[in-house]
Each structure stands twice: as structure tokens, then as C-alpha cells.
């Protein structure tokens, strides 16, 4: 048994699903995966992904840029520039949403530790979990950061963090509800949970359909619209306080989607679609390609 079979919607607990679309793992395996629609809440769920033990091989790609640090290729080069800009934006968001300049921050899925290193430099006490042993090793060698394996989340002390962040991580987590429970338990009263995830109601998602790069199956198990994320948060004792767009995601995802579609001039076309998506998201945050949600732990 290596299939990750979702029998119950993690958001609304319904067990009644309809087929939504079939898409391809364009990034690593070339295999096809189904996405299903929850008839209770509309949540989209990758239906034939692999369980935690067997999903590892779908992360093995030289192109897996969130862990790569070479500047090769135009898209990769842009990605690294954007990451630099986004580090500052994430830091400001933590400061604004917590109202603190220092505190204890937990980053889930910390990757190679770029964000945590930035926050540590600014005086924050930091803790990070990361599933990949290679990424943990990189963080230790490059930034002297000792990250914890993912399962350590469940043994941290209650009420020990001011803020927990997940930058494009929640959609990868198998034990979604167990993790949300842990976040509630670990945060101090009034603590903030900051979650960035792709948005399947975005302009670029509708435009690219099954080629939309942010489906990213089977690595993304869960696909959220703003109402789904809000409902998940409320189920676990959180209220959504604010939503922000991630300005570059619309461009990056659109360029990647054009590449998957094998369009001619993918970068140019992606820039145009990305720009439309970005313009829409300026006035309607709920239509952004990726949304950053700031949730507050209810008192
Ligand atoms: Zn549901």
C-alpha cells in the first residue's frame, strides 16, 4: 500500500467527491494524477498521491529549485532574485502581523533555511522543521542552523511560539489536521499562523486549467480557495485576520505553466498572463495566484 487515499475531506469531513481534472506531474515523473472536488466544501484534493513513505521519489529532481542554489537558467535566475525580495517581504509581514520586532518563530518546512537565517539575523529566536535530511544538512553547513526533522513538531512545548510560518508547505503535508492541531497547541495565546498556499480560484489557475503549474501533483496533496483555508482555520480555533498576494507567484507560475504547455515564447506569454493575474490580485486578494493568510489563534 503506497497510495495516499483520502476518504474524508480534511476541511469539512464529507466523504463525497466528484472528479475535477486530470493533470500531469510535469516536474519529475511525467505521471498523471486526478484531482477531485469535495461536494461538501469545494476543496480540491489530489486523489491518487503517495503516502509519506513513498512520496520521496517525486521530490527528486535536479530542477527542484527551492532546494537548489545554482543560478543556471533564466527562470532559475529570476527565482533567486525574487527569493531575495520575498525574504524582506516575509520579514516585514511577521513584524506587522505580530506587532513584535523579536520573539520566537517556528518555520515549518524550512527548506535550506534562508528565511530562518534572515529572521535570526534580525534578532528572532528561531526553530525550524524540515523533512529532507539533505536540506537540513545544507542549512547546518551554510547557515549554522540546526533544523529539526518534521515529526519533532509533535514534541515541542505548548505555548512556546509567537508565530508559526508555512511558506508553500501546508499543501504538501499529509497529516493536515494533526499539524493544524499542533500549531494551535504550540502558539501562545493570540499567536499568529502565517500560511502561504496557491489559490485555485486565481486568474492563472482558470487560464491554464490542467497545465497550471501550481497543481504540482503529486507533491501538492491539497488545493485551497480562500474559503477552504478559512474553514480549515476555523475548525482548529483560528480566525483569518488578513490576506495578502504574493506578487511574483503569478508571473513565475504562469511562465512555468506556459513551459508545461510547450507554448512558443513561454516566458513572454507567461509574463503577459502573470501580469493580468497580478493586476487582478491588486484589488481582489482572493484572486491572487498564491495567497498569504494571517490567522490568529482565538483566545
Ligand atoms: Zn470538504
Residue 284, pLDDT above cutoff 90: no
Ligand 1 center from residue 170 Cα (angstroms): 16
pLDDT (0 to 100) of residue 62: 53
Q: What is the mean pLDDT of the chain?
A: 92
Contact 273, 254 (CB under 8 A): yes
Per-residue model confidence as pLDDT tens digits over 230-260: 999 999 999 999 999 887 888 889 999 999 9
pLDDT (0 to 100) of residue 67: 46
Q: Which helix (H) or strand (E) holds 178?
A: helix 176-186
pLDDT (0 to 100) of residue 65: 46
pLDDT (0 to 100) of residue 251: 87
Per-residue model confidence as pLDDT tens digits over 62-83: 544 454 555 567 767 777 787 8
Local confidence band at 127 (pLDDT 50, 70, 90 cut-offs): very high
Task: Kindly list the domain boundaries of the chain, sorted by start residue.
Answer: 3-59+74-297
Ligand 1 center from residue 195 Cα (angstroms): 19
**CA dihedral sign of residues 50, 52, 55, 59:** positive
pLDDT (0 to 100) of residue 241: 97
pLDDT (0 to 100) of residue 285: 85
Ligand 1 center from residue 38 Cα (angstroms): 5
Ligand 1 center from residue 77 Cα (angstroms): 38
Nearest to 220 by CA among 203, 236, 197: 197
pLDDT (0 to 100) of residue 102: 94
Tell me the mean pLDDT in the region 283-296: 92
CA distance 115 to 121: 10
Per-residue model confidence as pLDDT tens digits over 156-209: 999 999 999 999 999 999 999 999 999 999 999 999 999 999 999 999 999 999
Choose between 76 and 59: higher pLDDT.
Answer: 59
Ligand 1 center from residue 238 Cα (angstroms): 18
Beta strands in the chain, from DSSP E residues, in sequence order: 3-4, 17-24, 32-38, 44-46, 49-50, 104-108, 125-129, 161-167, 187-198, 222-223, 238-245, 290-297
Ligand 1 center from residue 17 Cα (angstroms): 9
Residue 84, pLDDT above cutoff 80: yes
CA distance 132 to 138: 10
Residue 113, pLDDT above cutoff 90: yes
pLDDT (0 to 100) of residue 252: 87
Ligand 1 center from residue 54 Cα (angstroms): 25
**Helices of type H across 236-289:** 249-260, 266-283
Residue 14, pLDDT above cutoff 70: yes
Between the alpha carbon of residue 110 and those of residues 71, 127, 158, 277, the distances in Å are: 20, 9, 20, 28
Ligand 1 center from residue 9 Cα (angstroms): 5
Reply yes or no on domain 3-59+74-297 having CATH 3.40.50.150. Answer: yes
Choose between 147 and 84: higher pLDDT.
Answer: 147
pLDDT (0 to 100) of residue 72: 60
Contact 118, 91 (CB under 8 A): yes
Local confidence band at 267 (pLDDT 50, 70, 90 cut-offs): confident
Residue 5, pLDDT above cutoff 60: yes
Amino acid at each position: 500500500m503506497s497510495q495516499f487515499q483520502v476518504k474524508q475531506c480534511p476541511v469539512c469531513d464529507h466523504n463525497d467527491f466528484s472528479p475535477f481534472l486530470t493533470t500531469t506531474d510535469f516536474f519529475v515523473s511525467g505521471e498523471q494524477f486526478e484531482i477531485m472536488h469535495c461536494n461538501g466544501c469545494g476543496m480540491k484534493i489530489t486523489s491518487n498521491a503517495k503516502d509519506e513513505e513513498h512520496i520521496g521519489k517525486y521530490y527528486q529532481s535536479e530542477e527542484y529549485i527551492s532546494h537548489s542554489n545554482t543560478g543556471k537558467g533564466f527562470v532559475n535566475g529570476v527565482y533567486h532574485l525574487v527569493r531575495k525580495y520575498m525574504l524582506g517581504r516575509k520579514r516585514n509581514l511577521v513584524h506587522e502581523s505580530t506587532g513584535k520586532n523579536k520573539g520566537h518563530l517556528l518555520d515549518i518546512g524550512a527548506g535550506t533555511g534562508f528565511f530562518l537565517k534572515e529572521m535570526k539575523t534580525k534578532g528572532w529566536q528561531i526553530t525550524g522543521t524540515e523533512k529532507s535530511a539533505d536540506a537540513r544538512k545544507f542549512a547546518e553547513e551554510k547557515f549554522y542552523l540546526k533544523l529539526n526533522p518534521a515529526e519533532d513538531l509533535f514534541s515541542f512545548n505548548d505555548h512556546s511560539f509567537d508565530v508559526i510560518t508555512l511558506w508553500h508547505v501546508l499543501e504538501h503535508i499529509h497529516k493536515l489536521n494533526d499539524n493544524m492541531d499542533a500549531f494551535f497547541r504550540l502558539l501562545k495565546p493570540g499567536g499568529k499562523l502565517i500560511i502561504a498556499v496557491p489559490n485555485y480560484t486565481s486568474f492563472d489557475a482558470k487560464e491554464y486549467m490542467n497545465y497550471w503549474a501550481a497543481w504540482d501533483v503529486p507533491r501538492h496533496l491539497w488545493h485551497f480557495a480562500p474559503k477552504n483555508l478559512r474553514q480549515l482555520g476555523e475548525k482548529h480555533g483560528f480566525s483569518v485576520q488578513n490576506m495578502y498576494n504574493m506578487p511574483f507567484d503569478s508571473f513565475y507560475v504562469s511562465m512555468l505553466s506556459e513551459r508545461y504547455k510547450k507554448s512558443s515564447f513561454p516566458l513572454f506569454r507567461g509574463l503577459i498572463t502573470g501580469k493580468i493575474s497580478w493586476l487582478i490580485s491588486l484589488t481582489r486578494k482572493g484572486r491572487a495566484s498564491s495567497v498569504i493568510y494571517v490567522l490568529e489563534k482565538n483566545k
